[in-house]
Structure 1
Amino acid sequence: MSLMLLRRVVPASLVAVLALGGCAAFQSGDAATATSSTPEASDDARTTVLASFYPLLYLASEIGGDRVEVESLTPPGVDPHTVELSPRTVTDIEGADLVAYLSGFQPAVDEAVAVTGATAFDAGEHTRLLTTGETGHDHDHEGHADHDHSGEFLDPHFWLDPARLAEVAAALAEELTAVDPDGAATYEANAERVVAELTDLDAEIDAGLARCAQDTIVVTHEAYGYLTSEHGIRQEGLSGIDPEAEPSPARLAEVADVVDEHGVDTVFVESLVSPAVSEALASDLGLRTEVLDPLENQQDPDLDYPAVMRANLAALQDALGCEAP
């Protein structure tokens, strides 16, 4: 049985949506353009890439450069877990040269790719994913999304580990070359630069979290296993891997015990998830709140992936009392 990363209720069949053609969108708008046209090439001459959410948008834009026109299937400010697609966006998927997505992460995108038969790049096939069992503990898994583990889900948030994102970057360059062979030299050179930048960022995070006074963080939902597990940091989420699950009173009491036991002074909140419950818990326990961005969507257009990851590193260092490298 195929294992899904995080299976929500699937939207109405996109077969029916396709039949509607030019009807209005039922939730999200048309794909948002992420790169502007260049004076050297018309839009018609460029390879069209649709990225399902921000980290893949970042990679496609950086690697593709002027040879690609990259658009996002997740509009700004929208939680990618729950995105739905307009009929026009489904038509765009069918006509795109390449769709970059993560199978199981966004059910509407999965179904659109299947229905349209689009040329697709599944990031989950090109890196190592973590599994999370019902106990909430993470386990390193050297497989991909087609492996089934009873009582476990594959954690989709691989991009919070720059080393894993670098693996996907290298694979995406190869896929772009297959779609646009004339751009091979561009894609290879850009991918080498991106991989080098991500490798340096990974080393920076390793050094920044090497010596910390604390080892536990409290988060809104447990999205940070790839950022914490390799550094001996324990994440305690008000909810599990599902960002919209409401924590029970019993779970809040457990988190309060963790706060007391481990001397936690910060509750991390997210920009795309309501902070109400986290802020209430922090107020009750006399804690502060800070933002830890899971980077599922780009909140500030002036801050790219490396900038946000460095902000995350600084927030973790402050909360955990880490020594400067």
Structure 2
Amino acid sequence: MKKNLKFTFCALAVTALVSAVVLSGCSGNTAAPGASDTEPVSNTAAVSRDEESTGAASPESEEFSAEIEAEDTDGQKLKVMASFYPMYDFAVKIGGDKAEVTDMVPAGTEPHDWEPAATDIKNLEEADLFVYSGAGMEHWADDVLASLETKRLVSAEASAGLTLRPGHSHDEEEHEGAEEHAEEEEHDRGQFDPHVWLSPVNAKKEMENIKNAYVKADPDNKDYYEDNYKTYAVRFDELDQEYKDTLSALPGKSIVVSHEAFGYLCDTYGLTQMGIAGLSPDTEPDPARMAEIIDFVKTNHVKVIFFEELVSPKVAETIAAETGARTRVLNPLEGLSDEELKNSADYFTVMEDNLKQLKAALE
């Protein structure tokens, strides 16, 4: 990626040497040995002074300045935009010190219904890489990407290649009488369950897809990105095995969660989820749904009703009071709070804590 200064620098050195010989001939002085070995910083300073005295730069000085500017910008970090927290975390882990990664969704914000503002679109126009999960999680992504004028942006749909769960949920049953959605909106908002990252097996694949996008955007640092991925691939495998060993040994297999975000995790480890809300947490259950949830809790001897920090616990607390259950937090990793970020929480620490919460609920 670096531009070669060798030719330009040599040309200037020769020019300086010839000038020195001519001047020495006029004055009768002999140049001291080594006087022609000019340091690059001195050359830059000389060019600046020449430009100030003549009002214009020589072709040689213009070329040299351009080469220096190219050298200064070489090694500049990739500008990476991530659609929400898990994508941000994975992008940071792969990019390391080669990337400047921005989480588009502010800390503490529920991402399901978040949409980018004009400043976010501008940042995407100027970015090198855009990382998003896909499968309908970012309902705005396709339209925004189609609207961008930039041709250099590499986009990575991290869920590409994964087997997706169907997205039907009780949300649709509650709106049977509503006007049918357009086909595109149906695809974006419910054709698939988008919460793929909550299975460590799927999260590993998402990080691999992100790594491949980094390599495409910055092939000169391929080995760096590959090494970072290999490091975290081992951690995903260890986390997966820990979930298998822990959950398979527990008698309970049923959980009640604030919204149906844990389907991939449940499929991977043999659990069954009952969601208070559907794939998006912004709906409250009607009386019929509440009765169904309460019956599920009693029938399956559910001891804990899970809620999440970015969603009101009110309904979970109501169900717990009705059934004698307790409440605990189970984090869907859709976004972390400022406090969690200050405490250096990441995907792995949150998933470890989730496993502790599941163990306490199912033992």
Counterpart selection for 1:205 from 240, 243, 250: 243
Counterpart selection for 1:78 from 89, 105, 109: 109
Match of 1:309 in 2: 351
Q: Aligned with 2:109: secondary structure? A: coil
Match of 1:142 in 2: none
For residues 323 and 308 of structure 2, the distance between their equivalents in structure 1, rounded to whole angstroms, comes to 19
Q: C-alpha displacement at 1:44, in angstroms?
A: 7.6
Q: Aligned with 1:45: secondary structure? A: coil
Normalised by the length of structure 1, the TM-score is 0.78
Counterpart selection for 2:123 from 92, 115, 128: 92
- With 164-173 and 100-109 compared, the bigger mean Cα shift is at 100-109
For residues 49 and 134 of structure 1, the distance between their equivalents in structure 2, rounded to whole angstroms, comes to 34
For residues 88 and 242 of structure 1, the distance between their equivalents in structure 2, rounded to whole angstroms, comes to 26
Superposed, 1:43-192 pairs within 5 Å as: 45-103=76-134, 104-116=136-148, 118-134=153-169, 153-192=191-230
For residues 256 and 223 of structure 2, the distance between their equivalents in structure 1, rounded to whole angstroms, comes to 45
Identity of aligned residues (%): 36
Q: Aligned with 1:206: secondary structure? A: helix
For residues 190 and 333 of structure 2, the distance between their equivalents in structure 1, rounded to whole angstroms, comes to 23
Q: Aligned with 1:201: secondary structure? A: helix
Q: C-alpha displacement at 1:284, in angstroms?
A: 2.2
Q: Give the number of the structure whose residues are more often strand, by fraction.
A: 1
Asked if 1:254 is matched to 2:289, the reply is no
Deviations 1:72-114 (A, max 9, x none): 1111011111112221211001110010013321223433222
- With 260-269 and 276-285 compared, the bigger mean Cα shift is at 276-285
Gaps of 5+ in 1: 1-40, 137-145
Q: Aligned with 1:313: secondary structure? A: helix
Deviations 1:165-206 (A, max 9, x none): 111212221211111111111100001111111111111111
Q: C-alpha displacement at 1:241, in angstroms?
A: 1.2
Structure of higher RCO (CA pairs closer than 8 Å, 6+ residues apart): 1
Counterpart residue identity of residue 83, structure 2: S
Q: Aligned with 2:166: secondary structure? A: strand
Q: C-alpha displacement at 1:270, in angstroms?
A: 0.5
Q: C-alpha displacement at 1:126, in angstroms?
A: 3.5
Counterpart residue identity of residue 318, structure 1: A
Determine if contact 1:128/1:164 at 8 Å carries over to the other structure: no
For residues 50 and 232 of structure 1, the distance between their equivalents in structure 2, rounded to whole angstroms, comes to 35
Determine if contact 1:269/1:289 at 8 Å carries over to the other structure: yes
Counterpart residue identity of residue 53, structure 1: F
For residues 247 and 42 of structure 1, the distance between their equivalents in structure 2, rounded to whole angstroms, comes to 55
Deviations 1:297-316 (A, max 9, x none): 12311211101001000100
For residues 313 and 298 of structure 2, the distance between their equivalents in structure 1, rounded to whole angstroms, comes to 21
Determine if contact 1:210/1:231 at 8 Å carries over to the other structure: yes
Asked if 1:267 is matched to 2:305, the reply is yes
Determine if contact 1:74/1:80 at 8 Å carries over to the other structure: yes
Counterpart residue identity of residue 194, structure 1: Y
Determine if contact 1:51/1:99 at 8 Å carries over to the other structure: yes
For residues 163 and 85 of structure 2, the distance between their equivalents in structure 1, rounded to whole angstroms, comes to 19
Normalised by the length of structure 2, the TM-score is 0.70
Q: Aligned with 1:153: secondary structure? A: coil
For residues 126 and 55 of structure 1, the distance between their equivalents in structure 2, rounded to whole angstroms, comes to 18
For residues 119 and 128 of structure 2, the distance between their equivalents in structure 1, rounded to whole angstroms, comes to 16
Match of 1:5 in 2: none
Asked if 1:281 is matched to 2:323, the reply is no
Q: C-alpha displacement at 1:134, in angstroms?
A: 4.5
Determine if contact 1:48/1:98 at 8 Å carries over to the other structure: yes
The alignment of Structure 1 onto Structure 2 pairs a total of residues equal to 270
- With 77-86 and 100-109 compared, the bigger mean Cα shift is at 100-109
Determine if contact 1:100/1:120 at 8 Å carries over to the other structure: yes
Counterpart residue identity of residue 91, structure 1: K
Q: Aligned with 2:167: secondary structure? A: strand
For residues 252 and 98 of structure 1, the distance between their equivalents in structure 2, rounded to whole angstroms, comes to 44
